[in-house]
């Protein structure tokens, strides 16, 4: 086949020209693009109003130091390879996640800050802004620092479930001694039903 020649392809199932299908797809795409541009992008949730006090929390543990794993042994059937060292009874191991001591201390300190602030539980859709002030200049993954404050605030009763959060902003700030994170909580632009 030479460069200037085009073969007419047909769809084996419908018997129609393949060019017609491509033209139809192009037309649908143009209609979609025209409607999408005319309507504009979908509205984004915004932090409309400030719900409670700005909370200054201690330096959070990362996700890697928040959850630990513990192996729990239980009796198993006789085929188990794992045996008790003293009586040689067959055992089966289960890995169970648990909060580390550092995470428990962080939760307690966040609960104390929330109780001191007098912040009431938020029932609607929530926007959260977390500013992280590092204790030193080490390289850290910013996304590993957001889970602990959100989990601790949920445990302290600031909101019923962190599924209420529609907008989450995580920002790295300058270095301060001992580090800290500042959390702002606001209501999103939509009500509890998700309507604007």
Beta strands in 41-150 (DSSP E): 47-50, 55-58, 67-75, 82-83, 90-99, 126-133
The pLDDT tens digits for 20-64 are 666 776 776 676 666 554 444 545 455 544 555 689 999 999 887
- Please choose, from the candidates 145, 128, 113, the residue with its C-alpha nearest in 3D space to the C-alpha of residue 185: 128
- Residue 160 inside a domain? The answer is yes
- Residue 13 inside a domain? The answer is no
The predicted structure's pLDDT at residue 83: 67
The predicted structure's pLDDT at residue 192: 44
pLDDT at 186 over 90: no
Whether 69 contacts 93, CB under 8 Å: no
pLDDT at 110 over 90: yes
Its domain, for residue 58, covers 47-66+100-188
- Residue 89 inside a domain? The answer is no
**Count of domains in the chain?**
1
- Residue 104 inside a domain? The answer is yes
The pLDDT tens digits for 58-84 are 999 988 788 887 777 666 565 656 666
Whole-prediction pTM value?
Answer: 0.62
pLDDT at 113 over 70: yes
In CATH, what number is assigned to the domain containing residue 131? 3.30.1330.70
Higher pLDDT pick, 15 / 118: 118
- Residue 122 inside a domain? The answer is yes
The predicted structure's pLDDT at residue 74: 64
Report d(CA 106, CA 178) in Å as an integer: 14
Whether 68 contacts 100, CB under 8 Å: yes
The predicted structure's pLDDT at residue 81: 64
- Residue 154 inside a domain? The answer is yes
CA distances from 164 to 7, 47, 111, 114, 121 (A): 56, 13, 19, 18, 12
Two tokens, residue 15: 């018997």
Average pLDDT (110-121) is: 91
- Residue 21 inside a domain? The answer is no
Whether 131 contacts 185, CB under 8 Å: no
Average pLDDT (168-185) is: 93
The predicted structure's pLDDT at residue 27: 73
- Residue 10 inside a domain? The answer is no
């Amino acid at each position: 086949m030479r460069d200037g020649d085009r073969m007419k392809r047909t769809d084996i199932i419908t018997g129609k020209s393949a060019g017609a299908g491509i033209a139809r797809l192009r037309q649908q795409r143009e209609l979609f693009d025209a409607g999408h541009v005319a309507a504009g992008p979908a509205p984004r949730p915004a932090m409309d109003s400030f719900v409670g006090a700005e909370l200054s929390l201690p330096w959070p543990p990362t996700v890697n130091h928040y959850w630990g794993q513990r192996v729990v042994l239980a009796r198993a059937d006789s085929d188990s390879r794992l045996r008790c060292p003293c009586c040689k009874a067959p055992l089966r191991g289960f890995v169970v996640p648990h909060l580390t001591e550092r995470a428990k201390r962080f939760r307690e300190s966040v609960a104390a800050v929330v109780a001191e602030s007098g912040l009431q539980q938020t029932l609607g859709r929530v926007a959260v802004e977390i500013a992280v002030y590092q204790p030193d200049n080490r390289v850290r993954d910013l996304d590993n620092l957001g889970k602990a404050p959100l989990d601790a605030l949920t445990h302290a009763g600031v909101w019923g479930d962190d599924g209420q959060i529609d907008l989450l902003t995580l920002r790295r700030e300058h270095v301060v001694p001992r580090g800290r994170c500042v959390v702002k909580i606001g209501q999103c632009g939509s009500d509890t039903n998700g309507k604007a």
